Amino acid sequence: MMASPGDEELDQDTMAADPETRADGDDGGSNQGGADDQDELASEWESMVGDEEDGSADEEGGEGSEATRVLNQDEIDSLLGADDANEDSNEKAGIQAILNSALVSYERLPMLEVVFDSLVRKMSTSLRNFTSDNVEVSLDNITSLRFGDYLNSIPLPAMLGVFKAEEWDNFGLLTVDSSLIYSTVDVLLGGRRGTAAMRMDGRPYTTIERNLVERMVQVVLADLSAAFDPLSPVTFRFERLETNPRFATISRPSNAAIVAKLRIDMEDRGGRLELLIPYATLEPVRELLLQMFMGEKFGRDSIWESHLAAELWKTDIDLTAVLDHQIMSLGNVFDLKVGSQIPLTATPNSPIEVRCGDIPMFSGKMGRKGDSIAVRINEKISNDRKTGL
């Protein structure tokens, strides 16, 4: 619609007459529109920033959430090495594996298995004769652990036999659990077969029980000595019998030891017997225990040794016959010239010393054989005379 000239003039006059109203109206409209635009830009910017943060979080794969995640109880047990699965498999994990990393595995001593297998065979025979019953002995396992951990793991009540290896000048430990104690007492005192051994906890062991167990421990120690005989003769002497593990301390708690767990079955009765030998006790025979099989020479070859000895006997060496020796000053030695003479004090009957290098070997007399000058050997110079020279 086109405005008439009269209307335009009227509007111009109205605006000129009320300038404040015109300014207020313009400012309010422009301010409101600018504020709306700014709000829209701010909201759009926030949405863009939020999208970028979400995208970066997705690309990082939730690293921030993973860093702040709290471990559950299973993960804590695995970290501390207290997992039940590891206990069943005899494998340490986590911090427990780090603490036990200094332990020497018994697998590095292959001959120990041979010794303990021989012990099992000998014990089966000797305990049958000792109890007059059918006894079966089996080796459960061989493990390496610290001495303090073993003392804390002994199930009480039990008897601990302390013994000494005479030739190695160190000690070992033999643990008999309560089931084997009562089974042995029941068998030796004529208990009826087919009934389980009666177990009476809460009371100290009697003198009869201690004496019978001590006799059994001495039988086991005799078999252990016989098992080590092919490797290295040793005598295991029984020292004392203890019922409190604290009184059976034979090594520092942190020292490593070998533990062999044996199972002894007497028909429907039996129990466990554990043999602990510290690594310090086995140190004198450690090189022998490193053998892969009995009689190994650790790199020595007997055939090569015999060949080398045979060739040495065929070696040519130079012998020197010393007629006489003179002691002269350094000045007289420097005064010697071509044609100078050194008088010898040797006579035809003077002894001649035959040397190999600087070592005197024989003494004899000078003579002649055909056209050659010869020395007839009369005696061999002893080692004392060699040392004196």
Q: For residue 70, what are its two tokens?
A: 């709290």
Q: Locate the domains of the chain by residue range.
A: 102-197+205-289, 316-388
* CA-closest candidate to residue 265, choices 197, 214, 203: 197
Return per-residue pLDDT of the chain as tens, 389 residues. 444 444 444 444 444 444 444 444 444 444 455 556 667 766 776 666 555 555 544 444 444 445 567 777 777 777 666 555 544 444 555 566 665 554 555 556 788 888 899 999 999 999 988 888 888 899 988 888 888 888 888 888 889 999 999 989 899 999 998 888 888 888 888 776 655 555 556 678 888 889 999 999 999 999 999 999 888 889 999 998 988 888 888 888 888 889 999 999 887 788 899 999 998 888 888 888 887 765 555 455 678 888 888 888 888 888 888 888 888 899 888 988 898 888 888 777 888 888 888 888 888 888 888 888 888 888 888 766 555 54
> What are the distances in angstroms from CA 190 to CA 183, 184, 187, 217, 273?
11, 10, 5, 20, 22
Q: Distance between CA atoms of 203 and 199, rounded to whole angstroms?
A: 10
Instruction: Determine if the peptide bond prior to 157 is cis (ω within 30°).
Output: yes
**Do β-strands 236-242 and 158-165 pair in parallel, antiparallel, or remain unpaired?**
antiparallel
284-to-102, 237, 279, 287, 297 alpha-carbon distances in Å = 20, 17, 10, 8, 17
% of the chain residues with pLDDT over 90: 14
**Whole-structure pTM over 0.85, yes or no?**
no
CB distance 147 to 251 below 8 Å = yes
CA distance 360 to 386: 6
Assign domain 102-197+205-289 to its CATH superfamily.
CheC-like (3.40.1550.10)
Q: Quote the tokens at residue 278.
A: 């510290």
Contact 273, 286 (CB under 8 A): no
CA–CA separation, 190 and 131 (whole Å) = 10
Residue with tokens 């035959």: 354
Alpha carbons 288 and 108: distance in angstroms, whole number: 12
Each residue's pLDDT tens digit, 7-32: 444 444 444 444 444 444 444 444 45
Write the class of the CATH domain 316-388: mainly beta
